[in-house]
Amino acid sequence: MKKLINDPADVIADALAGLAAAHPELRVDQRNRIVLRGDAPVPGKVGLVSGGGSGHEPMHTGFVGPGMLDAACVGEVFTSPVPDQILAATTAVDAGVGVLHIVKNYTGDVMNFEMAAELAAAETGTEVVSVVVNDDVAVQDSLYTAGRRGVGGTVVLEKITGAAAEQRRPLAAVAELARVVNANSRSMGMALTSCTVPAAGKPTFELRVTEMEIGIGIHGEPGRRRVLLTPAREAAEMLLEPILSDLPFAAGDTVICFVNGMGGTPLVELYVMYNEVARILRDHRVSIARSLVGSYVTSLEMAGCSVTLTKVDEDLLRLWDAPVNTSALRWGV
């Protein structure tokens, strides 16, 4: 195992220390392992809290800041944060108008965020609404979740709801917007290699150099099928076919198209994939209104990518275009 770490037991603490040093505009609570925007709680604004296991950076810590999240809770690698962390984050961002929990659909995340919401209501009277993200069309069930997993659609949802919260929309409206984005988002991923969890020291699964895995999860879960390595155009078709048929997307629809790297794939290859995805969408007469290309929801050093399509209207596009100022996403500022 070759990794730029000191000790596997110290990876998260060391990474948070580095984040704090690189981004003094943030507040990093090492004890509770939460990352907060520096001005939280923001008066009159709904607080947005998300989080999950480490290893998916920049999700979620890279999305803390004006226009997106107020706090992110950091678990061990591929492990949910615990209720006490989530409670601390919720309390820290509560400005008296409620807090939205954005929760990816994994069993540990759902359970721990639910417990934290109950504790917040009982101990501080904070109104918390939770929205579960489940945009992955690859599988219905996995080792980590009952039902569909939350993957790339989470980034789109956090950006759009973050903008709505900045506009001082009330909690019920921001939560409903989150449900709309989730309902209109579909994702599918693939891998060329596995990843290695530092504490394990070996790849989560094995792939021959002639193989690729279709439908993988962001924790290194194997996909729905293993196939021979194909050109990008064929790989894009394998990802897009289940996405387009699931919502279903139709001629005349307008989408945000997000091509995401899994951590070990260079940007040049992601743009090759984006070109193929755009070609397929043109053939289906689905219009791309906005695009995002890059490694934003990763699985450590896994090589591969995912595609997310979110069907949008003018309000959702305006919220997507609204200013955002985080360490991983920044525009309009």
Task: List, for residues 157-176, the tens digit of each pLDDT value.
Answer: 999 999 999 999 999 999 99
Q: Catalogue the active-site residues.
A: 56, 219
pLDDT at 1: 75
**3-class DSSP state of 26:** strand
The closest alpha carbon to 135, from 166, 164, 112, 158, belongs to: 158
- Could you read off the pLDDT of 97-132 as tens digits, one per residue? 999 999 999 999 999 999 999 999 999 999 999 999
263-279 pLDDT, tens digit per residue, is 999 999 999 999 999 99
Domains of the chain: 8-184 (3.40.50.10440), 185-317 (3.30.1180.20)
Greatest alpha-carbon pair distance for the chain in Å reads 56
Q: What's the pTM?
A: 0.96
Q: What's the CA gap between 107 and 85, in Å, rounded?
A: 17
User: Parallel, antiparallel, or unpaired for β 99-104 and 128-133?
Assistant: parallel
Q: Taken in order 19, 268, 205, 209, is the CA torsion positive or negative?
A: negative
pLDDT at 289: 98
Q: Among residues of the chain, what percentage have pLDDT more than 70?
A: 98
- Helical ranges in 58-167 per DSSP H: 83-93, 107-124, 153-166
